[in-house]
Amino acid sequence: MYTTTCFDNVHNSLLQHVNVCLSCMEGDSDLQFLLSGADLLKVRSGSWKKTRFYKLQEDCKTMWHESKKALRPRQTFSVEDIECVRSGRQTEGLRKYTEEALETRAFSILFKGRRKNLDLVAASEEEAKHWVSGLQKIISNLNSLSQQQKTEHWIFNCLRKADINGDNKMSQEELKNFLKNINIEVDDDYVKLIFEVCDKSHCGFLELEEIKHFYEILTQREEIDVIYEEYAKTNGLMSAFNLLEFLSKEQKEEVDLAHAVQLIEKYELDEAEKQLMTKDGFLMYLHQPEGLIMKPSHKGVYQDMTQPLNHYFISSSHNTYLLEDQIKGPSSTEAYIRSLMKSCRCLELDVWDGSDGEPVIYHGYTLTSKILFKDVIKAIKEYAFKTSNYPVILSLETHCSVDQQKLMAQHMTTILEDALITKPLGDHMPMELPSPEELKGRFLVKGKRLNRLEALFLDEDTEEEEVVTEEEDSRDDDDEEDAQRNSSKKSKTLNLAKELSDIVIYCKSVKFHGFEHARNNQSFYEISSFKEGDAMKLAEKSANEYILHNEGKLSRIYPSGFRTDSSNYNPVPLWNAGCQIVALNFQTPCTEMDLNQGLFSQNGMCGYVLKPFFLRHRDSEFDPITLNRGPWLKHTEFRVMVISAQQLPKVNPKISSIVDPLVRVQIHGVPADMAEKETDYIVNNGFNPMWNSYFQFDLSVPKLALVRFVVEDYDAVSSNDFIGQCTIPFTSVQNGYRHVPLFNKNGDLLSSAGLFVHTMAVDAE
C-alpha cells in the first residue's frame, strides 16, 4: 500500500521524503535548487524593485520569502495557488519596468483568482531556468497526483505543521492542535482516548508506526466500508464479478466483465494479478474519473461540432479587459489571457483613440487604466487556442477615429495573419453560418460593416467611409449611457473605415427592431446585441419567438451599465431562450459565473455546447415559461443522497475556527424545475462530516437543467460563508455512488476537498 511504503522508507526527514516521493522529483536538480533558495529581484514599478530571498519549504508545496514589513517578516504562498509560471518579460509589469537585456533572467508567477502577479528577475539565466522549470514540474506533479495521494500529501503537511518542535513525534497537545488544523474540533476526552489507542509504546509520544496507525484511524471512511463489504464476497475482497455486480446494480452502468477487470488492473495496487480489488483499490476507483459525478465521456468533446455556429451556446465575456470593477479598476492583457485559459470564446474589446496615435482599450469615460489594442491582439493570438481549438469571436466596441480604425484593422491582419477570417469560406455566398469545426483555430470579428456580405460576390464597391452609430449594438440608448455618460457626451456618430469594415464577415452588428423585422430583413450573418433587461423581458414574454429568432441568427446579451461593480445577471433564462453569446463579467466570482463554468464544463470545456434539438429546430414550439407539451418534456425524478464530505477548507485561517458545514443542492433550469434543498449543519467538523440526507427533485426539462452542490459554513447570526461548489449539467450526471469535486469562489479546484453522494435519475412517466 502507498502509505506503508512511505512510512517504511522514512529516514532523517519523514515529511520531506514523503513530499519528494509525491512530487516524483527525488534527486532533481531544479528541486534541490528551489529547496536551497536564492535571491530574486521583485519588480512592482519603475521605482519599486527590491531583492528578496525565496525558498521552497520542505513540504514541496509552500514558497517562503522574506518581507521587510515589521509584522510580517516571513510570508508564504502555496504552489497550488499558482495558475502558471512564465519565463521572460511576458507580463505588462516586466515589459514596462525592466530592460530588454533582462529577458532571459526574468519570469513571472501568476496566481489564481485576483491576486497580483509576482514579477521577478533572477541573478542569472541559469537560476531563472531553475526557478521556472522547478516550479512547473512541481505544479504538474501535484496536479497529476491521485486523490488518495493528494489526501496523504495534505495530511502529512498538516502533521508537519503540528510537529512544533520538529522531532518527528507527536504529543497529546500537538495531536489536538493537528485535529484543529484539519478542521475538526474535539473535546479533551476524545483526544486522550485516540492518543491512548495509538500510543502502544506508552511513552507519551506518537512515533512512526503509531503515527501511521493514527493516520489510518483518521482516514477511515465508514461509508465506503459499508458499500465495499456488501460486494466484497470473495474471501473478503471484491472479485471482477463482484465489481461488475456493483457497477450494474449501484452505478447503473451497462458494462461487461472485461470492463470490471480493466478497472481492477488500473486501480488495484496489491491484488490485481489475482483479479481482486481491495478496499484501497475500490476507494482509488471512486476518486478517479470513472467514479466522479460527471460522465467521463463528457470531459472530452463528444458533441456534433459540424452544425452552424448559431446552434451552440458560446462561452462569452463582457468588459474582458477589466480585472476588477468598471469605474476605476485596472485594464490588463492578463484579463484576456485568464478568460481564454477558461475557454472563453467571445471577447469584448472596447477601443478608443490613444493619445500617441495608437488605439487603446479601456472603459470609456471612467478611471479604468488603458492598454494598447495591439498588445491585446498579441496576447489573444498567443493564448487563444491553448485550451480550445474552436473559434474565438472578437466583439469590437469601436469609438475610434477613422485613422485609428485603420490601425486596428492593420494590427489584426498583421498579428493574427491567416488565422483571421477576412472572407467567407468557399467560393459562393453561404446560406448559413459555418460550424465550429470548420472554424477551428480561426478568429471572427464582430462589428459594424458598411455593406451586405452578398456584395463580395457581386463585385460591388463601397465608399471608404459611412456614417454609423458610435456604439455597435443597442447601447446608443442604453441605461449605461443614461447613468454614466450623459454628462460627458451627447449621442454622436463616427465614420467607419473600410479596412475595419472589410474584416467583419460572419458577425455583422445590427440593431434589433423586433422579431418581425428580423424575420423579414436580418440575414443569418447579422447579429444583434441586447442589454440584459431587454433580453430578460423577451425571454419571459416572447420566449418562443426568441427561440425561433436564435435558431437562425446569433444574439449577444451583455450586463446593464448600472452594474458598476461588474456584478452579473442570471444567464439561465437566456440560455433557455436559445441565446448563444450570453456575456458575463469573468473577473467577478459569483453564482452566475459558477453556472457558466458548470454549463461549459462539458464537451471538453471547449467553450461551445450544442443547444438541445428543441432550441435549434426552425419550427420549434418550445416555450420554457408555459411548458407546452412536446418531446422536450421528459418528467424525471432526480434522487440525491448527500452522504459525506472530505477535507473541507477553513473559512477562517485561525486554528480555533472550525466550520459547521451544510450542503445545498440546487436545480437551475426552466422556471418549473428551479428548486433548492439543504442538509442540516454538522457542528465543528470540516474534515469528514457525514449527513446521509436524502432529497428528490422532479424535473420537466432535464436537458436544460444544471445541478449545483454548494457547501457553506453555517452561521446562526449572519449569512453563511461560502466554502465550495460544483455545478454540472444534469445530462452529464452519473448515477450511483459518486465523488463531487469542489471549486472555490474563483472557480479553481480545491485539490483535496470533495463531497460523496449517491444520485439516481428515474423516468417518472
Q: Catalytic site residues?
A: 318, 363
- Report the C-alpha gap between 83 and 310 in whole angstroms: 32
Is 350 assigned a ligand-binding role in the annotation?
Answer: yes
Is 271 assigned a ligand-binding role in the annotation?
Answer: no
Is 715 assigned a ligand-binding role in the annotation?
Answer: yes
Q: Coil, helix or strand for 13?
A: coil
Is 59 assigned a ligand-binding role in the annotation?
Answer: yes
- Cβ neighbors of 392 (< 8 A, separation 6 or more) are 340, 345, 346, 347, 380, 384, 385, 442, 443, 444
Is 342 assigned a ligand-binding role in the annotation?
Answer: no
Alpha-helix residue ranges (DSSP H) falling in 202-332: 208-218, 222-231, 240-249, 257-267, 279-287
Is 626 assigned a ligand-binding role in the annotation?
Answer: no
- Report the C-alpha gap between 65 and 86 in whole angstroms: 19
Is 726 assigned a ligand-binding role in the annotation?
Answer: no
Q: Coil, helix or strand for 72?
A: coil
Is 64 assigned a ligand-binding role in the annotation?
Answer: yes
- Report the C-alpha gap between 219 and 202 in whole angstroms: 23
Copy the grid coordinates of residue 163.
510537529
Asked if residues 184 and 686 have their Cβ atoms less than 8 Å apart, the reply is: yes
Is 765 assigned a ligand-binding role in the annotation?
Answer: no
Maximum CA pair distance of the chain?
Answer: 95
Closest alpha carbon to 577 in 509, 670, 706: 670
Is 740 assigned a ligand-binding role in the annotation?
Answer: no
Is 63 assigned a ligand-binding role in the annotation?
Answer: yes
Is 43 assigned a ligand-binding role in the annotation?
Answer: yes
Neighbour count for residue 75 (Cβ, 10 Å): 12
Is 61 assigned a ligand-binding role in the annotation?
Answer: yes
Is 479 assigned a ligand-binding role in the annotation?
Answer: no
Is 691 assigned a ligand-binding role in the annotation?
Answer: no
Closest alpha carbon to 310 in 493, 444, 149: 444
Is 681 assigned a ligand-binding role in the annotation?
Answer: no
Is 448 assigned a ligand-binding role in the annotation?
Answer: yes
Asked if residues 182 and 158 have their Cβ atoms less than 8 Å apart, the reply is: yes
- Cβ neighbors of 406 (< 8 A, separation 6 or more) are 497, 499, 500
Is 65 assigned a ligand-binding role in the annotation?
Answer: yes
Q: Coil, helix or strand for 697?
A: strand
Burial class (CB in 10 A: 0-12, 13-18, 19+), 78: middle
Is 46 assigned a ligand-binding role in the annotation?
Answer: yes
Is 541 assigned a ligand-binding role in the annotation?
Answer: no
- Report the C-alpha gap between 674 and 152 in whole angstroms: 39
Asked if residues 525 and 507 have their Cβ atoms less than 8 Å apart, the reply is: yes
Is 464 assigned a ligand-binding role in the annotation?
Answer: no
Q: List, as residue ranges, the binding site for Ca(2+).
A: 319, 348, 350, 397, 658, 660, 684, 713-715
Which residues does the annotation place in the binding site for substrate?
Answer: 42-69, 446, 448, 529, 556
Binding residues: 42-69, 319, 348, 350, 397, 446, 448, 529, 556, 658, 660, 684, 713-715
